[in-house]
């Protein structure tokens, strides 16, 4: 029993970077901003690797974007993914377009499982996985998590949080939902999106980085796939959110209480 | 016709409060587009819930079938999509809860509709209605247009008032043509996090703890109970397994906007701030005077939370 898994690795602004809007609202200031793999995608790659280590199989990593997106695919290959596919596309892209490309890839590669991050930390849309599942009429398990903490023994041993059934035909997924946790069993092939507590992604080792350079990274033009990529989600204008005015430091609990009680009147 | 369809969320025979906020958003879209507000409610044995929803003056469509007992997107999405076509909806919305975020993009996929997530407000009129939504963990606001005939959205509940009861809408039975045998998703269980405290996203006051608690949430919980507040947590506290993940406030957790938010032992990473900076009054209690949370806090106290919080709880008790 082995699993062929397709994972995504989107190039996004480093979450530690300070994001500022251009004065004309046409985009964000990219000077001095660092880029990295979307943190939720790192978790997706890690989970795919753990499943492969336990059950055997292959991990294919895909990204859509300009030539710089190859960096994120190489990062996933350095973590241990087997091969990469870069779909070259410059300009804006929305979840409708991303899912159209991934659907084409699904038809070509016929994986058992597609794992995506639940959202990318730039557009914060949380749509691509669900939209892809709808296009392909596949079952979906979003916001995959696990019941053990990230400090647990299972996590130290890099046990996968997604549990494959004994017959290899379905996957049990613990999901983070409002009010608690839910478990779903999805028949394969299926689409899974990752939440933060599914795992702690590994760092690429130096030998891993060296090996990654020799791994296959196929490039193809998005236009060659015959999918419509003109954005349907049209960003008309960006702006900075209203800022809060600076507050005051209080000397002690006595003063804090009198401020909350007398001034703000919230307690 | 420009009709608006809001997908209601129900749990254990009750309408989720977030749905009432989504109804207000739906009413606003209906006003801007000159359409009628419709509500879809799905589940098994949901007659009373449908009747309750009708009290908010919308046309209620109740899809009542055993196959819809659990909130499985694979089963619910085709029913919502079919209903959207039947009522000629141009806009399909829901609250941006875990349920809404799981289901609505799948509905959008079936309708080949573009979607806006976690909408904060609307602009424009008619087919030109635009959606205001946060990007980059709330560091940027975007005005977006959706260039598809049907437009799908989820709304952030804290940005819209809860709908008021008005008039009495009709309840009609919606068609359910989903075959249980064809489903490839099986619901295998739910573990509820039980709490006597108010729900995090609904509470008037939230007391939240982070890494600074070192795993001891007793002072956080004691202060919360004194204030009849909900308890929240930073990602660090949740990751460490100190508290349930349901308590997480932030970009990837819950977004709250209470009247008072007390952040104790939380440094204030942007991911956390994204979930609470809409709060009316923010209090920070932290030992580190340079913690970023102090730049946002209306009242900052540099102190050990294990001393300050019990002292504050004591003062509150005496003031009663």
Q: Can you tell me the distance from the alpha carbon of A123 to that of B138, in angstroms, rounded to the nearest whole number?
A: 10
Looking at residue B279, its pLDDT comes to: 95
Instruction: Identify all chain A residues contacting B193, using CB atoms and an 8 Å cutoff.
Output: 179-180
CA dihedral over B225, B230, B233, B237, signed as positive or negative:
positive
**Cβ–Cβ of A232/B148 closer than 8 Å?**
yes
**Cβ–Cβ of A184/B97 closer than 8 Å?**
no
**pLDDT by position in tens, chain B (length 320):** 689 999 999 998 899 999 999 999 999 999 999 999 999 999 999 999 999 999 999 999 999 999 999 999 999 999 999 999 999 999 999 999 999 999 999 999 999 999 999 999 999 998 899 999 999 999 999 999 999 999 999 999 999 999 999 888 899 999 999 999 999 999 999 998 888 899 899 899 999 999 999 999 999 999 999 999 999 999 999 989 899 988 999 988 899 999 999 999 999 999 999 999 999 999 999 999 999 999 999 999 999 999 999 999 999 999 88
Helix axes A128-136, B73-86, angle to 10 degrees: 80
**Cβ–Cβ of B109/A28 closer than 8 Å?**
no
Q: Can you tell me the distance from the alpha carbon of A45 to that of A55, in angstroms, rounded to the nearest whole number?
A: 15
Angstroms from B312 CA to nearest CA on chain A: 6
One-letter-per-residue 3-state SS of chain A: CCEEEEEECCEEECCCCCCCECCCCCCECCCCCCEEECHHHHHHHHHHHHHHHHHCEEEEEEEEECHHHHHHHHHHHHHCCCEEEEEECCCCCCHHHHHHHHHHHHHHHCCCEEEEECCCCCCCCCCHHHHHHHHHCCCEEEEEECCCCCCCHHHHCCCCCCEECCCCCEEEEEEEECCEEEEEEEECCEEEEECHHHCCCCCCCHHHHHHHCCCCEEEEEHHHHCCCCCCCEEEEEEECCCCCCCCEEECCHHHHHHHHHHHCCCC
Residue B208 CA: distances (Å) to CA of A84, B212, B238, B284, B286: 42, 11, 11, 10, 12
Q: Can you tell me the distance from the alpha carbon of B255 to that of B278, in angstroms, rounded to the nearest whole number?
A: 9
Q: Can you tell me the distance from the alpha carbon of A4 to that of B285, in angstroms, rounded to the nearest whole number?
A: 49
Minimal-distance CA residue of chain A relative to B189? A183
Angstroms from A191 CA to nearest CA on chain B: 11
Tell me the residues of chain B between 74 and 133 that have a Cβ less than 8 Å away from chain A: 74, 77, 97-99, 101-110, 112, 114-118, 130, 133
Q: Is the bond leading into B85 cis (omega within 30 degrees of zero)?
A: no
In contact, B33 and B21? CB cutoff 8 Å: no
**Cβ–Cβ of A130/B109 closer than 8 Å?**
yes
Of A78, A93, A118, whose CA–CA distance to A214 is shortest?
Answer: A78
Looking at residue B1, its pLDDT comes to: 65
One-letter-per-residue 3-state SS of B21-81: HHHHHHHHHHHHHCCCEEEEEEECCCHHHHHHHHCCCCEEEEEECHHHCCCCHHHHHHHHH
Angstroms from A231 CA to nearest CA on chain B: 8
Instruction: Identify all chain A residues contacting B244, using CB atoms and an 8 Å cutoff.
Output: 180
Instruction: Identify all chain A residues contacting B316, using CB atoms and an 8 Å cutoff.
Output: 257, 267
Of A130, A152, A231, the CB nearest to B73: A130
Q: Can you tell me the distance from the alpha carbon of B103 to that of A143, in angstroms, rounded to the nearest whole number?
A: 12
Greatest Cα pair distance in chain A: 68
Instruction: Identify all chain A residues contacting B310, using CB atoms and an 8 Å cutoff.
Output: none
Task: For residue A92, list its beta bridge partners.
Answer: none
Of A179, A233, A250, the CB nearest to B146: A233
Angstroms from B204 CA to nearest CA on chain A: 9
Query: How many interface pairs between A and B have CB atoms less than 8 angstroms apart?
Result: 258
Angstroms from B64 CA to nearest CA on chain A: 21
In contact, B22 and B10? CB cutoff 8 Å: no
Greatest Cα pair distance in chain B: 62
**Cβ–Cβ of B144/A133 closer than 8 Å?**
no
Chain A CB within 8 Å of residue B172 CB: no
Of A184, A233, A259, the CB nearest to B187: A184
Instruction: Identify all chain B residues contacting A185, using CB atoms and an 8 Å cutoff.
Output: 185-186, 188
| Buried b or exposed e, range A30-52, using 16+ CB within 10 angstroms | eeeeeebbbbbbbbbbbbbbbbb
Chain A CB within 8 Å of residue B298 CB: yes
Task: For residue A141, list its beta bridge partners.
Answer: A192
**Cβ–Cβ of B109/A145 closer than 8 Å?**
no
Instruction: Enter the ipTM.
Output: 0.96
CA dihedral over A7, B114, A123, B162, signed as positive or negative:
negative
| Buried b or exposed e, range A84-102, using 16+ CB within 10 angstroms | bbbbbbeeebbbbbbbbbb
Chain A CB within 8 Å of residue B288 CB: no
Show Cβ contacts of residue A207 under 8 Å, excluding neighbours closer than 6 positions: none
Q: Can you tell me the distance from the alpha carbon of A262 to that of A260, in angstroms, rounded to the nearest whole number?
A: 6
Q: Residue A32: which region, alpha, beta or left (left: phi > 0; alpha: psi -120 to 50)?
A: left
**pLDDT by position in tens, chain A (length 267):** 799 999 999 999 998 888 999 999 999 999 999 999 999 999 999 999 999 999 999 999 999 999 999 999 999 999 999 999 999 999 999 999 999 999 999 999 999 999 999 999 999 999 999 999 999 999 999 999 998 888 899 999 999 999 999 999 999 999 999 888 999 999 999 999 999 999 999 999 999 999 999 999 999 999 899 998 999 999 999 999 988 877 899 999 999 999 999 999 998
**Cβ–Cβ of B185/A185 closer than 8 Å?**
yes
In contact, A83 and A217? CB cutoff 8 Å: yes
Of A130, A145, A266, the CB nearest to B259: A266
Q: Can you tell me the distance from the alpha carbon of B253 to that of B201, in angstroms, rounded to the nearest whole number?
A: 11
Looking at residue A16, its pLDDT comes to: 84
């Amino acid at each position: 029993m082995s699993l062929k898994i397709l994972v995504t690795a989107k190039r996004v602004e480093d979450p530690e970077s300070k994001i500022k809007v251009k004065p004309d609202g046409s985009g964000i200031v990219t000077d001095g901003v660092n880029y990295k793999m979307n943190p939720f995608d790192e978790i997706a790659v890690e989970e795919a690797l753990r499943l492969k280590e336990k059950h055997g199989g292959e991990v294919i990593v895909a990204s859509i974007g300009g030539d710089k997106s190859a960096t994120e695919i190489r990062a996933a290959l350095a973590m241990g993914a087997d091969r990469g596919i870069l779909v070259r596309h410059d300009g804006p892209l929305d979840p409708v377009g991303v899912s159209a490309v991934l659907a084409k890839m699904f038809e070509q590669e016929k994986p058992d499982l597609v794992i995506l991050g639940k959202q990318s930390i730039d557009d914060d849309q949380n749509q691509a996985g669900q939209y892809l599942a709808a296009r392909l009429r596949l079952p979906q398990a979003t916001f995959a998590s696990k019941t053990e903490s990230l400090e647990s023994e299972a996590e130290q041993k890099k046990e996968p949080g997604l549990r494959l059934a004994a017959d290899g035909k379905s996957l049990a997924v613990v999901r983070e939902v409002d009010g608690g946790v839910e478990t779903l069993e999805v028949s394969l092939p299926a689409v899974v999106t990752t939440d933060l507590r599914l795992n702690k992604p590994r760092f690429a080792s130096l030998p891993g980085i060296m090996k990654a350079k020799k791994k296959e990274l196929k490039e193809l033009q998005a236009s060659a796939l015959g999918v419509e990529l003109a954005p349907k989600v049209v960003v008309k204008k960006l702006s900075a959110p209203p800022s809060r005015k600076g507050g005051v430091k209080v000397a002690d609990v006595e003063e804090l209480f009198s401020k909350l009680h007398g001034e703000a009147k919230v307690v | 016709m420009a009709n608006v369809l809001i997908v209601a969320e129900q749990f254990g025979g009750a309408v989720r409060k977030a749905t009432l906020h989504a109804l207000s958003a739906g009413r606003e879209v209906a006003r801007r587009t000159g359409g009628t507000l419709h509500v879809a409610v799905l589940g098994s044995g949901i007659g009373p819930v449908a009747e309750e929803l009708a009290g908010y003056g919308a046309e209620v469509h109740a899809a009542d079938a055993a196959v819809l007992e659990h909130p499985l997107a694979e089963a619910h999405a085709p029913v919502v999509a079919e209903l959207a076509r039947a009522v000629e909806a141009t806009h399909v919305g829901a609250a941006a809860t875990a349920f809404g975020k799981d289901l609505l993009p799948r509905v959008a996929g079936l309708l080949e509709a573009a979607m806006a997530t976690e909408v904060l407000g609307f602009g424009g009129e008619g087919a030109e209605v635009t959606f205001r939504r946060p990007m980059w963990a709330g560091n940027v606001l975007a005005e977006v247009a959706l260039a598809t005939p049907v437009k799908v959205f989820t709304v952030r509940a804290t940005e819209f008032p809860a709908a008021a009861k008005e008039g009495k809408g009709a309840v009609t039975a919606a068609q359910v043509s989903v075959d249980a045998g064809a489903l490839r998703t099986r619901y295998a269980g739910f573990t509820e996090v039980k709490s006597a405290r108010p729900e995090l996203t609904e509470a008037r006051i939230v007391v939240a703890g982070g890494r600074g608690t070192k795993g001891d949430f007793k002072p956080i919980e004691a202060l919360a109970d004194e204030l009849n507040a909900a308890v929240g947590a930073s990602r660090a506290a949740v990751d460490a397994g100190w508290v349930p993940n349901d308590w997480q406030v932030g970009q990837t957790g819950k977004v709250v906007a209470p009247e008072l938010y007390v952040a104790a032992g939380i440094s204030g990473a942007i991911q956390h701030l994204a979930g609470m900076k809409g709060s009316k009054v923010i209090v920070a209690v932290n030992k580190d005077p340079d913690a970023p949370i102090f730049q946002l806090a209306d009242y900052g106290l540099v102190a050990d939370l294990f001393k300050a919080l019990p002292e504050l709880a004591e003062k509150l008790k005496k003031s009663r």
